[in-house]
Chains A and B, each alone.
Chain A
Amino acid sequence: MTGRDRTVVMVLATLGVLAAVWLFAVAPKREQAAKLGTEVSTAQAALASAESQLASASAAQAKYQDAYASIVRLGKAVPASQEVPSLIYQLSQATNEKNVEFASITASVPGASGSKAPTASAGAATAGAGATQMPFTFVFNGSFDSLYNLFQQLDAFTTLHTTSGELNVSGRLLTIQSIKLGPVSASGGSAPGSGAPGGSEQLSGTITATAYVLPAGQSLTGGATPAGPSGTATQTASTGAAGSANAPAVVQVNP
């Protein structure tokens, strides 16, 4: 073996040793470090997601009082139970303000062609997930002007501001499906001159309208109280009755 050959062998051996050290020691370590770098990125993303959830939940907690107030206010428009007495009270208030005689209210059975006597559960038809319908037939007597104002008032119980998108709820949400106007004596209403003003100009307005209630099993606030929602530590056990089907006092109608 010449000197040159020895040199070549030594160089090759050195390169082999270095390659072995790289392949079996350094490269795996670097690969492990890179993998952990990916894990760090994943953990950072998970932390960011968790912190985002926390921020969202904290924001929800901060908005709770407003949300509770608004959901109670929405209970005026669509209550958890039928709340027929409050509906009659609202209509009576509105008719008094508009100088209209509130002659009759009849709870209609869904799908029937005529009206039947109201019962505790009659008139409720489940219609989709959002609300249950309660059709009614009302008879109002008054002048054209008064009836027109009354229709405006019925719509104004629940209105939507188109610019801000805000709901303004001051009473029960009613959807009027039909209106029949005619002379008082001819439409089966009360006799002319029975109390409403206007004399010969008195009209009888028969209105078919639908009120809405929350679907069965849904309470107004879902068990929440002003202190906190159901299932939180801030909610005290003594205030649980507020979420029952019996609406809390704040739902009382105040048109």
Chain B
Amino acid sequence: MRAVNLMTTDERRGPSIPTGRSGGGAYVVLVLLGGLAVFALLYGLADHAISGRRSEVASLAARAQQAQARAGQLTPYTSFLQMREQRVQTVTQLVDSRFDWAQAFHELGRVLPPGKVSLGSLAGTVGSSSGSSAGASSSSSSSSAGAASGSSVTSATPPGSIPTFALTGCAVSQAEVALMLDRLRLIHGVNEVSLQSATKSGSGGGGGGAGCEGGRVSFSAQVTFDALPSASTAGGSSSTGTASTAAAPASPASASATPVSTSSAGAVR
């Protein structure tokens, strides 16, 4: 069966937009005006933002200039503070780089066998890192000192320098010399203890030159400490520098008392 459209011819086109006599031109004009109005609004907002931001930039620049001028007036203060910091750093490095002689002597007095061993001479030197026998003779200390003074480092005992003690003295027996060598290793920060000679008096040997009484053993030994730490580690080291004083096992009272007993025992003449 064939379908038949029952709608009238006018109704078949559907609902149409009323365009009037302009044929839709009025709508186009309205859209155009609306668009221009929106654009005018955006333009105005942008213009307002521009003027506002310009004044803000000017204000900020003026304030920044004012602050800079004020800071410029106070520059001498900041420079002075920087100079203070540099001085503090310099002195701190110099203090950090020192070898703690008092602590080393204190521990030396503690470890020597009392009454059995006496020291005739003691020469301690903070030598260069390359020289391993600094301080072994009386002339080495002055040459080492001169070398350190002429070096390009700030401290007279730069990091890496190796402190050494050269000891000569007398012991009642060779066994006491051996005990002394063992105990010298107990000193904090000692890296090496080496015996140079131990000769019983009257046996014809050269001896240590200490002029020991008959039957006693004259000895000569060298104690080598760890190298002085670098500036970055000096603060944490307890073997050298002022830091070790705080970390010393003995109180100041006992520290001062121990050498007395050593002295009374004739450890150093």
Q: Which residues in A have some Cβ–Cβ distance to B below 8 Å?
A: 3, 6-7, 10-11, 13-14, 17-18, 21-22, 25-26, 29-30, 32-33, 36-37, 39-40, 43-44, 46-47, 49-51, 53-54, 56-58, 60-61, 63-64, 67-68, 70-71, 74, 77-78, 108-115, 125, 127-131, 133, 135, 137, 143-145, 147-149, 151-152, 155, 158-163, 165, 167, 169, 173, 175-183, 186-187, 200-201, 203, 206, 208-210, 212, 222, 224, 228-233
Chain B 14-26 per-residue mask, 1 if CB under 8 angstroms from chain A, else 0: 0000010001110
Known: A60-B81, A67-B84, A208-B145. A36 touches B263 (CB 8 A): no
Nearest CB on B from A11, distance (A): 6
Q: Tell which of A51, A130, A151, A152 touches B154, judged by Cβ atoms closer than 8 Å.
A: A130
A229 touches B77 (CB 8 A): yes
Known: A6-B23, A167-B92. A29 touches B43 (CB 8 A): yes
**7 CB < 8 A contacts A-B:** A18-B32, A47-B64, A78-B94, A127-B151, A144-B259, A175-B94, A176-B98
Q: Which chain A residue shows the least CB distance to B65? A: A50
Is B129 among interface residues, defined by CB-CB distance under 8 A?
Answer: no
Q: Tell which of B61, B77, B246 touches A61, judged by Cβ atoms closer than 8 Å.
A: B77
Interface bracket on B: 35 or more
Nearest CB on B from A111, distance (A): 4
Known: A29-B50, A148-B102. A21 touches B39 (CB 8 A): yes
Most buried by A among B54, B138, B143, B146: B146
Nearest CB on A from B49, distance (A): 4
Q: Tell which of A14, A129, A175 touches B28, judged by Cβ atoms closer than 8 Å.
A: A14
B149 touches A210 (CB 8 A): yes
Which of B117-125, B181-189, B195-203 lies at the interface with chain A?
Answer: B117-125
Q: Tell which of B105, B145, B146 touches A151, judged by Cβ atoms closer than 8 Å.
A: B105
Which of B66-74, B170-178, B216-224 lies at the interface with chain A?
Answer: B66-74
Nearest CB on A from B68, distance (A): 5
A173 touches B145 (CB 8 A): no
A115 touches B87 (CB 8 A): no
- Once the chains are docked, how many angstroms separate the CA of A46 from the CA of B120? 72
Q: Which residues in B have some Cβ–Cβ distance to A below 8 Å?
A: 19, 23-25, 28, 31-32, 35-36, 39, 42-43, 46-47, 49-50, 53-54, 56-57, 60-61, 63-65, 67-68, 70-71, 73-81, 83-84, 86-102, 105-106, 109, 119-126, 135, 138-139, 141-157, 235, 241-243, 245-246, 255-256, 259-260, 262-264, 267-269
A155 touches B98 (CB 8 A): yes
B57 touches A36 (CB 8 A): yes
Q: Tell which of B36, B61, B64, B92 touches A21, judged by Cβ atoms closer than 8 Å.
A: B36
A/B pair count, beta carbons within 8 Å: 330
A210 touches B156 (CB 8 A): yes
Nearest CB on A from B201, distance (A): 18
Q: Which chain A residue shows the least CB distance to B83? A: A222
Known: A162-B242, A208-B141. A78 touches B23 (CB 8 A): no
A182 touches B150 (CB 8 A): no
Most buried by A among B93, B105, B119: B105
Known: A25-B43, A158-B95. A36 touches B49 (CB 8 A): yes
Nearest CB on A from B106, distance (A): 6
Q: Tell which of B88, B120, B153 touches A74, judged by Cβ atoms closer than 8 Å.
A: B88
A160 touches B96 (CB 8 A): yes
B148 touches A210 (CB 8 A): yes
Q: Tell which of B49, B74, B90, B135 touches A54, judged by Cβ atoms closer than 8 Å.
A: B74
Nearest CB on A from B241, distance (A): 8
Q: Which chain B residue shows the least CB distance to A31? A: B46
B87 touches A58 (CB 8 A): no
B23 touches A111 (CB 8 A): no
Nearest CB on B from A159, distance (A): 5
Nearest CB on A from B251, distance (A): 13
Known: A17-B32, A177-B141, A182-B120. A160 touches B92 (CB 8 A): yes
A77 touches B60 (CB 8 A): no
Q: Which chain A residue shows the least CB distance to B264? A: A201
Q: Tell which of A29, A46, A67 touches B64, judged by Cβ atoms closer than 8 Å.
A: A46
Contacts of A30 in B (CB 8 A): 42, 46
Contacts of A224 in B (CB 8 A): 76, 80
- Once the chains are docked, how many angstroms separate the CA of A222 from the CA of B83? 9
- Once the chains are docked, how many angstroms separate the CA of A91 from the CA of B11? 125
B91 touches A111 (CB 8 A): no
B46 touches A26 (CB 8 A): yes
Nearest CB on A from B41, distance (A): 9
B24 touches A10 (CB 8 A): yes
Q: Which chain B residue shows the least CB distance to A233? A: B73
- Once the chains are docked, how many angstroms separate the CA of A36 from the CA of B51? 9
